Structure 1
Amino acid sequence: MSAPTLWHNQLPDVALAKLESSSNGLDEATAQQRHHTYGANRLPAPPSRSVVLRFLLQFHNILIYVLLGAAVVTALLGHWVDTGVILAVVFANAIIGFLQEGKAEKAMDAIREMLAPHASVLRAGKRQTVAGDRLVPGDIVLLEAGDKVPADLRLLQVHGLQVQEALLTGESLPVEKQVAVVAAAAALGDRTNMAFSGTSVTSGQARGVVVAIGANTEIGRISGLLSGVETLTTPLVEQMGVFAKWLTLFILTVAALIFAFGYFVQHQDFSELFMAVVGLSVAAIPEGLPAVLTITLAVGVQAMASRHAIVRRLPAIETIGAVSVICSDKTGTLTRNEMMVTRVMTADAALQVVGEGYAPQGTFSHRGQPFDPAELPVLSELGLVASLCNDAELKHQDALWLVEGDPMEGALLAFAAKTGLDVTQIRREWTRTDMIPFNSRHKFMATLHHDHAQHACILVKGAPESVIGMCQYQVVGGKLQALEAAVWQQQAETIAAQGQRVLALASRRVPPHHTVLEYADVQGTLTLLGLVGLIDPPRAEAASAVAECHRAGIQVKMITGDHAATAAAIGKQIGLQHTDKVLTGVELDLLDDADLAAVVLNTDIFARTSPEHKLRLVMALQAHGMTVAMTGDGVNDAPALKRADAGIAMGQKGSEAAKEAAELVLADDNFASIVAAVREGRTVYDNIKKVISWTLPTSTGEAAVIVLALLLGMLLPITPLQILWVNMITAATLGLALAFEPTEAHTMQYPPRPRAQPLLSGGLLWHIVLVTTLFLCGVFGIYAYALDQGYSLALARTLVMNTLVVMEIFHLFFIRNMYGTSLTWQAVRGTKMVWLAVIVVTVAQFAITYLPPLQAVFATEAIALGDGLLIVGIGVALFVLVELEKQMRLRLRR
C-alpha cells in the first residue's frame, strides 16, 4: 500500500483504480481476503515487560546502591530502626517509579481508544455497519454529522462536510472538505480532500474510500512517533546520578585508604579499626538526603496542585523550574479555543468588540474610545442576521458559556447579544419559514423569516467573496446607497490579513406572502450590512504570563497547526518577541537539522506544523543545551510532549494521549498557570539546593572528625553509634525543615540555570571546606577542653555530640538565607517548620543526654549548665563566621 501522504494528490477515480475498488465498494470475499492480508484496523500494542522485571529495574540506580550500602552498614552497627528507615525510602522510591513506568504505553493506549468502534460502509453496493477494526483498504465509508472517522479516507463525494481536526492539526475551527486534488506538498491541515482517522464530522455528509488503516493512518504515525521518542532524564536526576557515583567512589576510596593506613602503618586493632571505618562511612554517606529530596519534591507537588498544575512524575517539578524555553500550542493553550467576533466593519465605522469567549456580554470601541452600539442602528440589523441566520445555541453551564453547534455561529450569537438584542426573544418573534443551507460550492447560508406583524425578510451570511457579489446596496448613515464592491473586498482582505476569519452579513426585505426561498431571491438584490472578523482570542492572562516569562529569561514560542496569519496575529497580541517572521511546516521541511537549529532561536511562531515538525523543533532547541517545556492538548502534541524536558498537557480540553505523555497537567488549561508552576519549580530547586548545601558540609564535617582522629592515631571523639544518632535526628528534622521554605522574592528575576550546571559548584565546594574546618575547630576544641578539665571520655564525647548538633542548627539558619543577609528579624524569625525542627532536635538531645535509659544506650553523661552555654557559644561563633564570609563575598561580587 502507498503511504497515506500520497492519496491527497490523486484523482478520486485514480484512487479507486489503484485500490482495485469501485463506487459500490468491495464484495464480502475481497474484504475478508484483505482483512487477512492487511490485518485489523487498530494500532499495534507495544511490547511490554513483565511486572516483576519492571519493579526490579527500579533498583538499578547508583544512588539506590549507596542507600543499600548504608543500610548494610547500619545493620552491622545493630541500629535496626535506621536500617528500616533507609530500606523504607528505597522501596518507596521503587514503588513511585514503578507506578510511573510505562507513560508511553499509556499514551498509546489512549490513542488506540480514539479509533471508531463501528463504521457504515458499502459492500457490494449495499450499506451495512461493520466493526471499525474490520475495515480494509478499498472499503467505501459513509460519513454523517456526529460520526468519528474510522480510517484515513480519500473523499469521493461531499455535501457540506466539515470535520473537526484539532486533535491532529491544532486548528480550532472545523475544516471544510471537498474532493478536488490538492498539492502533493500540502500540509496536513490543507489536505481538504482527506478525512483522517480519529477526527469527528461536525456537519454534512460524505463518502470516501479507505486508503490507510491502523498504523499507516496519520494517527497511527503519531503512535509510532511516540513509541520511538526517547524520554529524557531530568536535570536533577542526571546530576544526582553523577553526584552519587562520585560520592560513592570518594567514600570507598577514603575508607579504604584510612583502613590501610591504620592497619599497616599504625598497626591498630582490626576490629576497632573496622568499626571506626564503618563510623566514617556512616558519617560521610548522607543517607537521609534522598528521603529529604523526595519529600521536598512531594511538598512541591502539593504547592503546584494549589496552582492548578498536577504533577505526574516527581522529578519534573524541578525541571519546570529550569526551563529556558516554553514551546506552546496555540489553540486552547494561549487562546480560549472559542471563536469570538473581535471586529465589525460597516460603511460608517470600524469597531472593535471586547468580551470573553461565548459570553453574551461585551463592549464596543471606536478608535480606542468606548462606543455605544445604539449610536449605529445598522449594528442591530447585523445582530438580527447573526441571531436568525444561525443554527447554533448558547448554553450557560457550570459558570461557563458553551456552544452547541458551529463555533463561529456561537460567536455570532454572543455578538448579537452584545449589540443589545435579546436573542431568545428575537428568535421567538421571527419564525424561520425556509432556508438555503451552507455548502462549499456557494459559500453562504440564507434564511427566510416572518414575524407576527406581517413582516418578512431574507438574511444571509457567508464568505465575503460570495456575499458581496450578491449585494446591490450598502447602508450609509441609515440610508441605502449603491454598493462599492471594490472597497468592501479590500476591507475583507485587510481583516483577513490580521489572521481573522471574515464573514459578510446581508439582508433583504420581502413581501409577507413570500414563503419559499430560491437561489434567485438572493442574487444581486441584497443589502450589505457589514463584515465581521472572528478569531479564537488569546486568554486574558496570556500576555502578562508571557511577559513574566520574558522577565525570567524564558523564551516563549508558539507552534501551531493553524494558518500563519492567524498565528502571527495571536503572537502579537500576547507579546511574543519575534513576530515579524513566521515559519510554516512546508518551510521547515526544506531545512536540515543544522539549518533548523540556526533559525529556531530567532523565530517565535511556527504555523501549519505536523507532529514531526513539533518534535524536530523541540530537539533543535535541546541541541542548544536549552531545557524545553512543551505545552499541548491534542494527539498531535503527544510525541513532542514526551520528548520535551517538561511536557505540559491541558487538563480540561486535552486528549488522554497528551495527558499520558506529559509530566504535568494543567487543571485549568491556563497558560498563566505555567508561570506559577515555573515559580514553584524554582522554589523547589532552591530548597533542594539548600538541603544539599546544609547536608554535605555537615556530613563532611562529621566524617572529617573521624578521619582526623584516625590519622592522628587518637581515640575517636565521638562513637559510630553517636554519629548515626546525629545523622538520623538532624536529617529527619533540620534537613526536612528546608523542604518547606517559602518562595524567595527574587525567584523570578534571574535567568534559568544552565542544564549542565553541577550540583557541586565552586561556591558550594568552598563552603564545604569552610564549614568542615569550623566543625573540626569546634569539635576538637570542645574535646580538648573536656579532657583538660579532667572529664571522663563519655562526658567528652557527649559534649562533642551536642556541639555537632548545635553547629548544625546554627548552620541551618545560615543556609535559609544563603543568597542574602541572615541578620534580619524575618530571617531570625524563620518559619513554623524550622522552629518545630529545632524544638524536636533540642528535646531529643536533652533526652539522650539526661535520661538514664538513653545514657546507657548511647554512652552519654549529663552536661553542666556552663558547658551547655559554651556549646551554644560555639554554634553562635560558627554562624557569625560563615555570615561574615558571605557578606564579604557578596560585597566583592557587587
Structure 2
Amino acid sequence: MEKRYLLRDELPFDSERKRMTTVHEDTKEHEFLSYTKGAPDILLEMCEGYLSGEQILPLNDEVRANITNKIGIMADDALRVLAFAYKPMDKSTPVWNIMEMEKGLIFIGLMGLIDPPKPEVFDAVKKCQAAGVSIKIVTGDHRRTAAAIGRELNILTPSTEVITGEELDRLNDVELRNNVNKYSIFARITPSHKLRIVQAIKSNGQIVGMTGDGVNDAPALKAADIGIAMGIQGTDVTKETSDMVLADDNFATIVAAIEEGRAVYQSMGKFLRYMLSSNTAEILVIVIAMLIGLPPPFIPIQILWINLVTDGLPALALGVDPPERGLMDQAPRDPKESIMNKSMIKYIIRLGLYMTIISLGVYGISIGSFESNFDINNIPHKDYVYASTMTFATLSILQLFHSYNVRSETHSILGRQFFANRALVWATITSALLQVFVIQGDQWISTITNSDFVYFTNIFEVTSLDIIDWVLILILTSSLIGFEEIFKFRKRRLIRKDKILA
C-alpha cells in the first residue's frame, strides 16, 4: 500500500480543526487522492457524497441523519468515533490549498475506538468525590462519548450537565463563571476553551488543577493553581510550564499525590500540637510555681532532658505517623487558613493547661504545701528534691501519653491503628525506660554492686521513688487519655450530625 500510494502532501491534525488530511499519488492509476479523517460531526459537514460499494451517491439529508444516528449510538457506548472521507484531486496541480484538499469530500465510513478507563481510576474518582474534589472532564471528544465516559465514572450525575465548545462560545465570561460549577463534562473543547474554563473556576475562589500534554495546553496549565503535565505523552513545553509532571500519565497518581500531601500537612499539625502544648505545660508549671512563691519545680538539666528525650523521640516518631483513617473523607481546607488555626490553638491551650494542673498538683502535694505547718520560706531540701522528682516524672510521662492523643483529633487512640506507628511505640517505650532509669538507676546500681552509687542523683538532683509513687504517677498521667477522649467523642458526634444535616 505504501509503495502504491505515495505521500505527496499533508495537513497535520490540529485541535482547532479536529481533523487531518493527506494527499497520495496512486502510482498504478496515475491519480492523486486526498484522504481526511477526524471528528465525524465536523467531517460530515464537509462531505457532498458517500461511497456505497463502488458507487458514489449524493449525501442527502436522510443519509446524513442515518450516519449521525450511528455516530450517536457508537458514542453512547463510550467509543471515540472517527470519520473517514476522500476526494480525487486534480492531476495537473502539483500544490493544493486547504480548501481544495478538504472541499466536496466523499464520505467513506466510521471507526469506533475504545480507550476504557484504567481499573484504578474508578476508586480514584470515588476518593476525590469523598474528599470534596470536583472532577471535570475537558476533552475534544464527541458530546455523547464524553457523557458516556462521565456516567461510567460517576462524574456526570443528574445534578451536573454537559456543555460543548460551541455552546461555550455563546457564553460570556460572567455567564460562564456563574454556571461553570454545574458542568462536569466539557466536550469538543479547544485549548482556548481550557483557558477560559480555568479562569472561570478560579474566579469563583476555587483551587484548580489542570492536566495537559500538548503545546497548546500550556496557557491553561500556567493559569491553573496546579498545572499537571503528562510525563509520557507530554511535550517539553508543557512539562516546563507545569508545576508537576505526572510520570505515569495515570489519574490515580494525582489522587495519591493529594492524599500524600494531606498526610504531610497532617503530620506537621501533629508535630506542632504535640510540641507546643508540651512546651506550654513546661513553661506554665515553672512560671505559676514561682508566682505563688514556690521554688522552680525543675532545674535546667531536667528541662533539657524533657525536651530532648521525653519530647524529642516521640516528636520524631510522629513525623512518620501513617495517614489518619478517613483522611480522604475530609473536606478541603481553606488555603488561606494558617496551620495554626483556631482548632489547634484551642487544643494547645486545653492540653497545656491540663498537663499544667496535673503537674502543679503533684508538685504542691509532694512539697507539702497543703499541710498546716508548711513554711514556704523554709522548705527542707529533701522535701524539695522529692517534689521536684515527682513533678519531673509526672510531666515526662504525661507527654508520653500525650503523644498518642495527638495522633488524631477525632479518632480514639484505642482503635485499630494504635500499633500502626511502630516508631512511636518504640520511642515512647525507650523514653519511659530512660526516664525511670534516670530516677531509679542509682538505687538499682547500688543494690546490684552493693555500693553507694549516686551518679544520676547528683546530675539530675532526683531521688528514688517507691512503687506507690509510680502507681500514683501512672494513674494521674493516664487520665490525660480519658480527658481528651471526651473531646474527641464530642467532635465525632458533631461531624456525624453535620453529615446527616448535609
Return the TM-score normalized by structure 1: 0.42
Give 2:135's aligned residue: 556
Aligned pairs (5 A) from 1:239-258: none
The separation in 1 between residues aligned to 2:223 and 2:47, in whole angstroms, is: 44
Distance 1:718 1:634, change over 3 A: farther
Give 2:446's aligned residue: none
Deviation (angstroms), 1:777: 1.7
- Alpha carbons 2:165, 2:193 under 8 Å: kept: no
- SS for the counterpart of 2:411 is coil
Distance 1:494 1:585, change over 3 A: closer
The separation in 1 between residues aligned to 2:109 and 2:127, in whole angstroms, is: 36
Q: Select 2:66's aligned residue among 488, 491, 498.
A: 491
- Alpha carbons 2:164, 2:189 under 8 Å: kept: no
The separation in 1 between residues aligned to 2:422 and 2:31, in whole angstroms, is: 68
Uncovered stretches (5+) of structure 2, i.e. residues with no partner = 1-6, 38-42, 87-106, 370-379, 443-453, 498-502
The separation in 2 between residues aligned to 1:170 and 1:689, in whole angstroms, is: 47
Deviation (angstroms), 1:792: 4.8
Q: Select 1:545's aligned residue among 124, 127, 131.
A: 124
Deviation (angstroms), 1:556: 0.9
2:257 is aligned with 1:674? no
Q: Select 2:473's aligned residue among 862, 871, 892.
A: 871
2:46 is aligned with 1:471? no
Q: Which amino acid aligns with 1:552?
A: A
2:244 is aligned with 1:659? no
Give 1:603's aligned residue: 183
Give 1:59's aligned residue: none
Deviation (angstroms), 1:435: 7.3
Deviation (angstroms), 1:669: 0.9
The separation in 1 between residues aligned to 2:431 and 2:218, in whole angstroms, is: 48
The separation in 1 between residues aligned to 2:341 and 2:112, in whole angstroms, is: 53
Give 2:162's aligned residue: 581
- Alpha carbons 1:583, 1:603 under 8 Å: kept: no
Q: Which amino acid aligns with 2:283?
A: A
% identity of equivalent residues:
30
Give 2:409's aligned residue: 818
- SS for the counterpart of 1:582 is strand
Aligned pairs (5 A) from 1:640-655: 640-655=220-235
- SS for the counterpart of 2:328 is helix
Give 2:12's aligned residue: 163
Give 2:449's aligned residue: none
Aligned pairs (5 A) from 1:739-750: 739-750=319-330
Q: Which amino acid aligns with 2:349?
A: V
The separation in 2 between residues aligned to 1:888 and 1:832, in whole angstroms, is: 28
Aligned pairs (5 A) from 1:183-332: none
Question: Relative contact order, CA 8 A, sep 6+: which one is greater?
Answer: 1
The separation in 2 between residues aligned to 1:614 and 1:483, in whole angstroms, is: 38
Aligned pairs (5 A) from 1:737-816: 737-788=317-368, 791-816=382-407
The separation in 2 between residues aligned to 1:643 and 1:848, in whole angstroms, is: 59
Q: How many residues align?
A: 431
Give 2:20's aligned residue: 176
> For 1:682-722, what per-residue CA distance to the aligned partner results, in whole angstroms no more than 9, with x for missing partners?
33333333333333322222222233234334322123443
2:464 is aligned with 1:845? no
The separation in 2 between residues aligned to 1:771 and 1:680, in whole angstroms, is: 28
Give 1:500's aligned residue: 81
Q: Select 1:881's aligned residue among 475, 478, 483.
A: 483
- Alpha carbons 2:50, 2:59 under 8 Å: kept: no
The separation in 2 between residues aligned to 1:567 and 1:435, in whole angstroms, is: 42
Distance 1:580 1:728, change over 3 A: same
Deviation (angstroms), 1:802: 2.4
- Alpha carbons 2:20, 2:36 under 8 Å: kept: no
Q: Which amino acid aligns with 2:485?
A: E
Distance 1:771 1:443, change over 3 A: closer
Aligned pairs (5 A) from 1:709-748: 709-748=289-328
Aligned pairs (5 A) from 1:439-458: 439-440=33-34, 443=36
Deviation (angstroms), 1:779: 1.2
Distance 1:543 1:889, change over 3 A: closer
The separation in 1 between residues aligned to 2:287 and 2:205, in whole angstroms, is: 40
Q: What is the RMSD computed on CA atoms of the aligned residues? A: 4.1
> For 1:828-877, what per-residue CA distance to the aligned partner results, in whole angstroms no more than 9, with x for missing partners?
44531221211232243245443765655544444444323322222112
- SS for the counterpart of 1:581 is strand
- SS for the counterpart of 1:723 is helix
2:208 is aligned with 1:628? yes
Return the TM-score normalized by structure 2: 0.71
- SS for the counterpart of 1:501 is strand
> For 1:204-226, what per-residue CA distance to the aligned partner results, in whole angstroms no more than 9, with x for missing partners?
69xxxxxxxxxxxxxxxxxxxxx
Q: Which amino acid aligns with 2:20?
A: E
Distance 1:892 1:565, change over 3 A: closer
> For 1:483-519, what per-residue CA distance to the aligned partner results, in whole angstroms no more than 9, with x for missing partners?
99876543322244546212479xxxxxxxxxxxxxx
Q: Select 1:702's aligned residue among 275, 279, 282.
A: 282
- SS for the counterpart of 1:704 is helix
- Alpha carbons 1:159, 1:439 under 8 Å: kept: no
Aligned pairs (5 A) from 1:52-131: none
Q: Which amino acid aligns with 1:838?
A: T
Give 1:382's aligned residue: none
